[in-house]
Amino acid sequence: MGKKKKKKEKSPVAMLKRAERLFRKGNYPSAKKDFEEINKYLRDEEIAEKIKVCEREIRQLKTKDLIKRGRKNTRKGDLKEAIRCFEQAYDICGEDWIPKKIRELRTELSSRRSSEAAKDAEKAGDYEKAAVLYEKALVTQESEDLLLKKASSLVKAGKYDEAISIFKASELSDDGAVYDYGFALAKTGAYDQCLKIWEMIESLQDTFLKQRALVQSLLATTLFEEFFQIRYSPPTVYGKRFATIYEKGMYLLEGLKIKTRHSNPETLLIDLQGIVEYGRYASIDWLWKEERYEAIRKLLLPYPSEMDADLLALCAKTFFRLAEISGTYLPDLTMFWLTAVHTHEIVVKLSENDKDREAVRESLIQRAEDVIKGYAETGGPSSKGALRCWLVEKELIRDLSLLAGDQDTPQLESDSELMLVCTPHFARQFGLSDHVLRLIRENRDAFSDIEHYLRTGAYYSSAGQSLFHLHREEYEESLASLPQGGARPQSNPANGEAEFVKYGVERVNFAYGLHCLEKGEPRAARYFESAADLFKKSRRYEKEFTDKAITCHDLDQMEQYEDALADIHTKRPSEAIKDALSLTMVRRAIRLYNHRRLNIKAAEAVVAKALMINPDNDLARSTLERMKVDLDMEELIKAINKFKMNKACQVAAKSKHQEVKEEFFEFMERNIEHVDDMEIDEHEKVILLNDFFKWCARVDESHPILYDIDEMLKELE
C-alpha cells in the first residue's frame, strides 16, 4: 500500500477566497464558518460585518423554512404542529403578522375541539350541549355543515323554532337535514309545510312512509277542527282562515295520496273534499268584498269538467270585473258572459216578468259589449279582434237560443241538464260541442240557408278555433290549427261534424289565400282549390273574391287572381266567375302590353279568349277592335317602311278599319305632293304616278286621290 497523503493546510488567503465565493453564491452557513475561522487570526472588521450578514441571512432562511412547514401542517390539518412552527418563526424574526396567524390557528384548533366535543355530546345523547358546542365551533369556523348539525341537534333537543329558523336560511344538502326540518315543522303544527319539505325526500322506506301518512292525518284533523270552529261565521269575517283551509286542503287532496289511521279513509276523503270546497267559496266571498278579482280567478281554476249555473254566474261576474281592468280577459268575458245571460237558471232570476227579463238580458249584453268596444277603440289589433269574436259569438248564441225554443224553459229532454245555449269556446271548454252540433243538425230546416247552417256548425266543430283566428287576423295560426293542417280535414264521424269541418276548412283556405294575395306571396293560388265548393254554398264569398279580382291593379296579383279564377271556372262556370275571369284577363293583357311585356298579337289572343268566355264583355270587345286596328296599322307601316307597296295595298284593302285606309291614303298624298321635287324625268314621273293610281285604286276605287293623280298625269302628257 502507498503512503497516505498528508492533508494540506489551507492558507488564510485560500480560505478567504473560498469564503467569499460561498458568500456570493448565498451559501451563508458555510461562508459564516470560513469567515469565523479566518477572523480568529485577522481580526478584520469587514470580515466581521460579513459574518453578521451571514447570521441575518441564516435567520431569514430558518424563518422561511419554519413558515413553510407551518403552512404545510395547516393544510394537513395538524394545527398544533403548525402553531409550534409559527411560534418558532416569530421568536427568530418577530414579524408583526405571525402573532395574528397564531391566534387564528389557536381559535380554529379550539373550534375543532368544540366540534369533536359536540360529536361526543351527540353520542352521549346530550343534544342541547351538542348544539351549544356546534355554535361555539361556528364562531370561528363558518360552515354550512356545522350549521345544519347544530339545527339537527336542536331538533333532537326539542328546540324546534330555533332549528326551523336555521333550516329556513340554509341550503338543505342531504336527506337527513330535510327530514329534520320537516320533523321540526310537524312538531310546531305546520303539517302542510312539513309535507312540502318532505317531498324532497325520495325514500320509500316503510318507516318514513308511515310518518308521512301520520302527518297527513294530522293535517286533515287540524283542517277539520279549524273548519268546525268557524263554519257558522260569515265568510267576510274569517275569509283568510277559510282561504287557508282551502289552500291546505287542496294541497292535501291534489298533491298527496291520503294515508291515515282513520277507521274509514274514504269517508274522510269525502268530508275533506267538502270542507275544501266550502273553504274555496267562502274565500271567494271574502275576496269579492276586498275587490281582489285576480285572486278569485285563481281560485276558480282549474275549471270543473261540468259547470253549474251558480259557478257560471260567478265566473261571468269575475271576468267582467277583470275585463274592466285589463283587456287580457276579453275572451274569458265573452265565453262566460254570453253563456250566463242565456242560461235558464240565471235568466229566471233577472226578473219575474218575461218582457222585463229580456230587456235586462239585452242591457247586460250591451254592458259587456261596451267594455270590449272601449278596448277596440283605443287598443291594438288584439282588442279589435276580440270585438269581432264577440259579435260572432253573440250572433251564434242567439241562433242557438232560437233552436232551443223558449230560452227560459229547456226543451230537449236528453239535454235538459246541459247548457246548450252557449258560446263555441264555452262548448269546447266544457265538452258540450257534440251536443250543440246535434242540436244544430236536428234543426237544419230552421236556418235561413245552407251557408247559415254550415257556418253555425263550423264554429262549434273542431275547425271552430281556426275560424276565430281569422277574426283576429291570425292567418298563420288559423291555417295551422285546422284538423290535419287543413289538407284533408279529419273529423269525428261519431259526432257528425264532417260537413261543418269541410266548410270551415274551405273558409280558412279562402281567407288565407286572399291574405297571401294581399301580401304578394306566390303560393296564394293553391288555397283557392276548394273555393268553388265554398262559392256554391254562399255567393257572398264569390262576390268578395270577384270584386277583389276586378279591382286589383298589381300585375303579379292579377296573374294569381286570373289563375285562381280559371281554375274555379272549370269547376263552377257561374256568370259572376265568367265575368270576373274575362275582365281580369283583358285588364291584365292591356297592362302587360302597355308595359311592353306582351306583344300585340299575344295580347289580341288573350282578349279574344276572354271575349269567348264572356261575349258580353264590352271592354274585351272594344279592346279587341282597337287591337285589330293597331295590328293592321302595324302591318301597314311595316310594309310601307320596307317599300312593299303591294303588301301595303293588300293590308289596307282587307282592313275593316277606316283608320288603316286613311293612314294608307295619307302616306300616298305625302308622296304625290313631293313628285315634282323628285329629280327624275317626266317619263319616270308618269310611270310612278301610274303606280300610285293603281295602288290607290286597289284600296278604294272611288277615293278622291285618284282624280288628283289623273290630273297630274294629264298635265305631264
Cβ–Cβ under 8 Å, residues 603 and 593 = yes
Q: Are residues 198 and 115 in the same domain?
A: yes
What pLDDT does residue 342 have?
93
Does residue 159 surpass a pLDDT of 90?
no
Which of the four pLDDT bands, split at 50, 70 and 90, describes residue 411? very low
Domain annotation covers residue 45: yes
Phi, psi (degrees; rounded to nearest 5) at 713:
-65, -40
User: Does 167 share its domain with 102?
Assistant: yes
Is 187 in the same domain as 159? yes
Asked, for residue 131, whether it belongs to a domain, the answer is yes
Q: Say yes or no: 58 and 125 in one domain.
A: no
Q: Which of 143, 169, 202 is the last residue of a domain?
A: 202
Query: Do 638 and 706 lie in a common domain?
Result: yes
Q: What is the mean pLDDT of the chain?
A: 82
Instruction: Give CA–CA dist 80/454, Å, rounded.
Output: 93
- pLDDT for residue 679 is more than 70: yes
Which of residues 93, 126, 156 is at a domain's end? Answer: 93
Residue 55 included in any domain: yes
Predicted local distance difference test score (pLDDT) of residue 482: 93
Q: Distance between CA atoms of 72 and 75, rounded to whole angstroms?
A: 5
Number of domains observed in the structure of the chain: 3
88 lies in the same domain as 29? yes
Nine cell digits for residue 686 = 308618269
Banded model confidence at residue 415, pLDDT cuts 50, 70, 90: very low
Residue 111 and residue 196 in one domain: yes
**Shared domain check, 82 and 114:** no
User: How many alpha carbons lie under 13 Å from residue 151 in its C-beta half-sphere?
Assistant: 27
Judge whether 218 lies within some domain. no
- 688: in domain: yes
Question: Which residue, of 202, 230, 258, is where some domain finishes?
Answer: 202
Residues making up the chain, counted from first to last: 717
Min mean pLDDT across 69-83, 149-163, 675-689 is at: 69-83
- 128 and 109 in a single domain? The answer is yes
pLDDT tier at 105 (50, 70, 90 boundaries)? low
The predicted-structure confidence for 14-53, as pLDDT tens digits, reads as follows 776 777 777 677 666 776 666 766 766 667 777 777 777 7
pLDDT tens, residue by residue, 215-225: 988 998 899 88
**What pLDDT sits at residue 452?**
95
Q: What average pLDDT does range 92-107 have in this prediction?
A: 65
- Answer whether 441's CB lies under 8 Å from 461's CB: no
Same domain, 657 and 675: yes
Q: Output the pLDDT for position 664.
A: 84
Instruction: Specify whether 113 is located in the same domain as 89.
Output: no
Domain coverage including residue 58: 19-93
pLDDT band at 263 (very low <50, low <70, confident <90, very high): very low
In this structure, is residue 35 part of a structural domain? yes
* Residue 612 located in a structural domain: no
As a whole number, mean pLDDT of residues 575-581 equals 93
Average pLDDT over residues 569-584: 92
Q: Which three cell numbers stand for residue 229?
A: 270552529
Q: How far is CA 370 from CA 203, 330, 366, 373, in A?
A: 58, 12, 6, 5
The per-residue pLDDT for 268 is 62
- 61 inside domain: yes
Range of weakest confidence among 73-82, 243-252, 285-294: 73-82
pLDDT for res 454: 96
Cell output for 551: 279591382
> Do 63 and 147 have their domain in common?
no
